[in-house]
Structure 1
Amino acid sequence: MAEDLTINRSTSKQAQYESLIPQIEALLYGETDFVANMANVAAALKEQFNWFWVGFYLVKNDELVLGPFQGPVACTRIKKGKGVCGSSWAQSKTLIVPDVDEFPGHIACASASRSEIVLPLIKDGEVIGVLDIDSEFLNHFDEADAVYLQQVIVILLNQYIK
């Protein structure tokens, strides 16, 4: 089934999220395949916000392994506590990094990435993966992004059946 999103970049960031979130909810409704849903979430976010990179890493055998994403090729495996993604996993919390060059131990998968937000995917009290978003602009993400992206994660995880 073909799905079309209504994309409008001429409104505020808040309005863009408020328009996109119900569309993501409708897109995922009834679909229980987690990989398919992650792929559609990554595509929808990339399409709406035109960020440099949007994707997921999943916890497998005590490391993060690259999952569905949109953007240039990426690091395939990340150890717990390493880089922004590994740190978000280890700390079980959202990390907003205004300048990735100032983040201790940043893993430079793409030199064009300048700022980043990473949110853990927590299911039954355990981190099962992370949502990683990179921008080619400094200081691109803020608490509003964290709040709205957390809503997207809740929608995604509500469709997830282990």
Structure 2
Amino acid sequence: MLTDIDQLMRHWAEQRARLGLASGLGSQMGSIMEWKGNAPRGTPGTRILVGGAGLDHIAAEVDAALAELDRRDARGKVLAHLAHCRYLHALSIREQMQEVGLAEGAERTYFNWVKALHLQVMRILLVRAGPERTHTVRRVGMRPTGAKVASK
């Protein structure tokens, strides 16, 4: 499970490095220059428009989870800083340890901090994707189809 979080964090870093935090759509002139004329027409929502639209959904969720972790407390700030050093800036383990204030030779402590980072991000992502996000709002009662409703 923590390897999945590690992969999500790597995906987030790749998205941030490639796209940054800014989002926007390319200009028409940029499209004309890229395609040497009009861009090919396809179904609505083609990849051309998505290319400059910012982080994808899961990368944005990880970014929000790290922002929440950064706002939480002093330990959360250190964990968020570790995430940026480890994934976004791809510093070496020794440099990461120096950045978060761990003594040299404390690799075991470093890996415990990385595990704590993964656990906290996983917890925040689970809360953000919790049951209140999966329900739709229905204003009318639902009735089973094909079944007789007993009358009083």
TM-score range, shorter chain: under 0.3
Q: Which has the higher helix share?
A: 2
**Normalising by the residue count of structure 2, what TM-score does the alignment of the two structures yield?**
0.25
So what's the TM-score if we normalise by structure 1? 0.24
Q: Larger % of strand: which?
A: 1
